[in-house]
Amino acid sequence: MNSARAIVCHDTHANGGWKMEDVGVRKPGDGELLVEMVASGVCHTDALIGGIPGGAAPIAFYPRVLGHEGSGYVKEVGAGVTVAKPGDPVLLSFAFCNKCAICKTGHYSNCNDFNDLNFGGPYRDFQLASKSGEPEIGGQFFGQSSFANLSIVRECSVVNAKELVHDKKELQLFAPLGCGIQTGSGTVINAAKATPNDVILIMGLGGVGLSAVMGAKVQGCRTIIGVDRVASRLKLATELGATHVVDGSNLGDKSLVEAIREVADGIGPTIAIDTTGAPPLIKAGIESIRNKGRYIQVGSAPFDFQCEFNMFNFMVAGKSVQGAIEGEAYPVEFVPKMIKWYREGRFPFEQALKEM
């Protein structure tokens, strides 16, 4: 049994439930790798899932190790693993089954088993060192549980980075590409398939929203509108490619929808993306889109939030609403693309890290 240091969630962070502990890590089984982490991003979903009092089965349970933007070096591989060898650098992303009807069509992020594989209960792969008294700790959050210096990772979550990174420092820098940055940029590029004709609205300019701005810039969208309430984020969005920003904290006598439409040809965006999950912004975003416009939900709304809009008007206007996760990316292909754009100076994601 290997030993590791891990952040173990026993309860919500607010209840003091996240603790750095010594844990025992078993050997990798079929289709699994033992990875020594060198970095992990922290994504809002870690806080969301690790912030539910008592856990919320089936997507949250305690105790477990979270973290799903890991990067590291392979120490050992289990039977049947072909994606990497011991010593290879790896970047980690979400898990998918690669067998279901949805995966077969290439839509891995909408895998039928996404919840089980990424959040779910059956994968309990850490074992606590005896002193704690607890028998088991859940692992393989998003196939990786990267909040540990050593972890068992599922093969499907692995992007081999041997040809992608020059050194350990880069491997550390690239860790958040596997979720937040892929989610933002991929939503614009893969889910919306935005083009230079698009007027795109991005609500919320944290790491995901700023990555969406960079994705819109890569696609050459003619108008890129960012919405936030934090001055430093609005400034950064402009530097990264936003052509207009709307400061939600300073709308004067306008509604948010009016302020958005004013900078969107007077009729609203062709594409609106919400990265906040905040109900007032979701409602404003859906209302703001022009006829034939598309609205895409990316931020996690409250679990019990139901959204209403007038279906007849929606139909007549030819609008659509869509959900998207993980930027609808196939990480093995999309992560190398982001790294290529980064090296070409077209995707300066490191600037967005301070807002993540």
Q: Chain-centre distance of CA 42, in angstroms?
A: 10
- Judged by DSSP in three states, 223 sits in strand
- Residue 66 touching Zn ion (CB under 5 A): no
- Residue 43 touching Zn ion (CB under 5 A): yes
Report what 328 binds from ligand CXF, Zn ion, none; CB cut-off 5-8 Å by kind.
Answer: none
Closest Cα partner for 163 from 152, 178, 174? Answer: 174
CB of 300 to ligand CXF, least distance (A): 5
> Are β-strands 223-228 and 244-247 bridged in parallel, bridged antiparallel, or unpaired?
parallel
For residue 268, give every residue at least 6 positions away whose Cβ sits within 8 Å of its Cβ, in sequence order, or none: 199, 257, 260, 261, 288, 289, 290, 293
Whichever of 238 and 300 has its CB closer to ligand CXF, that residue is: 300
- Residue 45 touching Zn ion (CB under 5 A): yes
Whole-Å CA distances, 265 to 195, 253, 258, 289: 16, 20, 11, 11
CB of 45 to ligand CXF, least distance (A): 3
Closest Cα partner for 186 from 299, 330, 322, 69? Answer: 330
- Residue 179 touching Zn ion (CB under 5 A): yes
Whichever of 183 and 185 has its CB closer to ligand CXF, that residue is: 183
Of positions 6, 34, 43, 153, contacts ligand CXF by CB under 6 A? 43
* Total residues binding Zn ion (CB under 5 A): 3
Q: Chain-centre distance of CA 107, in angstroms?
A: 16
Whichever of 145 and 288 has its CB closer to Zn ion, that residue is: 145
Tokens of 228: 């936030």
Residue 251, H or E segment = none
Sign of CA dihedral 205, 207, 212, 217: positive
- Residue 103 touching ligand CXF (CB under 6 A): no
* Total residues binding ligand CXF (CB under 6 A): 7
Report what 300 binds from ligand CXF, Zn ion, none; CB cut-off 5-8 Å by kind.
Answer: ligand CXF
Query: Which parts of 109-168 interact with ligand CXF (CB under 6 A)?
Result: none
Tokens 């088991």 sit at which residue?
A: 136
Binding segment (CB under 5 A) for Zn ion, from list 102-110, 146-154, 179-187, 207-215: 179-187
CB of 93 to ligand CXF, least distance (A): 10
| CB atoms closer than 10 angstroms to residue 10 | 18
- Residue 146 touching Zn ion (CB under 5 A): no
Of positions 165, 179, 224, 289, contacts ligand CXF by CB under 6 A? 179
Helix, strand, coil share (%) of the chain residues, nearest 5: 35, 20, 45
CB of 87 to Zn ion, least distance (A): 27
Whichever of 160 and 275 has its CB closer to Zn ion, that residue is: 275
- Judged by DSSP in three states, 2 sits in strand
Alpha-carbon span 40 to 337, nearest angstrom = 20
CB of 80 to Zn ion, least distance (A): 27
Whichever of 132 and 300 has its CB closer to ligand CXF, that residue is: 300
Whichever of 45 and 276 has its CB closer to Zn ion, that residue is: 45
Tokens 């996760």 sit at which residue?
A: 325
Query: Which parts of 53-72 interact with ligand CXF (CB under 6 A)?
Result: none
Whichever of 179 and 324 has its CB closer to Zn ion, that residue is: 179
CB of 83 to ligand CXF, least distance (A): 22
Whichever of 23 and 210 has its CB closer to ligand CXF, that residue is: 210
Alpha-carbon span 288 to 268, nearest angstrom = 5
Whole-Å CA distances, 9 to 55, 63, 121, 182, 189: 10, 5, 14, 26, 35
CB of 90 to ligand CXF, least distance (A): 19
Which of the 8 DSSP states describes residue 156?
A: G
- Residue 183 touching ligand CXF (CB under 6 A): yes
Tokens of 306: 């139901």
Q: Site residues (CB under 6 A) for ligand CXF? A: 43, 45, 179, 183, 300, 325-326
Q: Site residues (CB under 5 A) for Zn ion? A: 43, 45, 179
